[in-house]
């Protein structure tokens, strides 16, 4: 991930690196766990991101909090690879489909790594079984249209299960902008300025749709067009709105 400038390097604003994003995600997850949020989503939406090193950097948070936890991967092969790469840690690492001994009374939290729409039924059943325990999903892909489909089935899935999940950390860089949410704060849209920095464009109580994001920049473009000659305009990357349109379908829910 290319470093993203941040004015003070703090836990607020657009993170300057993947490491900073993981740190923000851990802080948001800590706050969500302390607040008793039962089903937590952590989403670092960077193309071609390798999930294994992210998971390895993220799971120590649960150890630091002193929680009894287990880690699950979409399949037993990925779980075995993690065990090897992580030096056979003391906590349990399994495939989500390995039912035996999945949940025990003293378990306090579960971390599910990159579950996909293929495992959505398993994940839903697991969450329903984990009553009074915290389930954290790292970069889930539960609504892949190619697998889940569209229409009534997909709507049922969202209403019955996906709507019960709280997105506690969300980072999605776009061309010239970034969407960020860090619990318990609001959803934010940050726009890239001409000096290769970011400024806060707007805040939303829920995840903004692609249309809402487009309107932010359409409004700004209209204001720029009406400026008096000789007044400098805010620099913006060429073709920004055209590039942004490519992401609207993916962002809309």
Task: Kindly write down the DSSP assignment for every residue of 60-102, as one continuous string.
Answer: HHHHHTT--EEEEESSHHHHHHHHHHTT--SSEEEETT--TT-
What does the pLDDT read at residue 152?
A: 55
Q: Which tokens go with 182?
A: 């860090």
Q: Between 32 and 6, whose confidence is greater? A: 32
pLDDT band, very low/low/confident/very high, at 147 (cuts 50, 70, 90) = very low
Closest CA to 128 of 92, 169, 166, 164: 164
Q: What is the mean pLDDT of residues 7-18?
A: 68
- Of the chain, the percentage scoring pLDDT greater than 70 comes to 75
Mean pLDDT of the chain: 80
φ/ψ of 189, rounded to 5, equals -120, 120
Q: Strand 134-138 vs strand 166-174: parallel, antiparallel, or unpaired?
A: unpaired
Q: Which tokens go with 157?
A: 């899935």
pLDDT band, very low/low/confident/very high, at 227 (cuts 50, 70, 90) = very low
pLDDT at 251 over 80: no
What does the pLDDT read at residue 159?
A: 75
Q: Please give the Cα distance from 103 to 69 (Å, whole number).
A: 10
Q: Please give the Cα distance from 49 to 173 (Å, whole number).
A: 12
Beta bridge partners of 190: 178, 200
Domains in the chain: ranges and CATH = 1-169 (3.40.50), 175-253 (no CATH)
Q: Between 236 and 188, whose confidence is greater? A: 188
Q: What is the mean pLDDT of residues 37-50?
A: 94
What does the pLDDT read at residue 70?
A: 96
pLDDT at 10 over 50: no
What does the pLDDT read at residue 250?
A: 43
What does the pLDDT read at residue 161?
A: 85
Most confident of the ranges 5-9, 22-26, 245-249: 22-26
Beta bridge partners of 12: none
Range scoring the smallest mean pLDDT among 28-32, 190-194, 243-247: 243-247
At which residue do the structure tokens 């290319």 appear?
2
Q: How far is CA 200 from the centre of its chain?
A: 19
Backbone conformation region of residue 200, classed left if phi is above 0, alpha if psi is from -120 to 50, else beta: beta
Interhelix angle 51-58/18-34, rounded to 10 degrees, is 50
pLDDT at 182 over 80: yes
pLDDT at 158 over 80: no
């Amino acid at each position: 991930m290319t470093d993203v400038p941040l004015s003070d390097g703090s836990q607020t604003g657009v993170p300057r690196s993947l490491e900073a994003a993981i740190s923000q995600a851990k802080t948001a997850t800590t706050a969500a766990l302390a607040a008793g949020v039962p089903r937590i989503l952590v989403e670092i939406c960077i193309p071609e991101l390798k999930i294994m090193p992210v998971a390895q950097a993220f799971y120590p948070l649960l150890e630091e909090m002193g929680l009894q936890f287990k880690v699950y991967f979409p399949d037993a092969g990925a779980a075995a690879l993690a065990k090897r790469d992580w030096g056979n840690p003391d906590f349990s690492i399994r495939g989500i489909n390995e039912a035996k001994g999945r949940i025990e009374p003293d378990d306090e939290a579960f971390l599910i790594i990159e579950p996909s729409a293929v495992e959505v039924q398993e994940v839903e059943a697991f969450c329903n079984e984990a009553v009074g325990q915290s389930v954290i999903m790292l970069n889930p892909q539960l609504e892949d249209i190619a697998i889940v489909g569209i229409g009534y089935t997909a709507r049922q899935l969202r209403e019955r299960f996906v709507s019960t999940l709280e997105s506690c950390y969300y980072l999605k860089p776009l061309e010239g902008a970034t969407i960020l949410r860090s619990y318990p704060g609001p959803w934010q849209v940050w726009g890239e300025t001409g000096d290769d920095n970011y400024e806060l464009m707007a805040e939303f109580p829920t995840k903004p749709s692609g249309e809402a994001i487009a309107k932010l920049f359409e409004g700004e473009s209209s204001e720029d067009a009406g400026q008096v000659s000789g007044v400098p305009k805010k620099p913006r990357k060429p073709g920004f709105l055209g590039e942004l349109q490519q992401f609207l379908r993916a962002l809309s829910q």
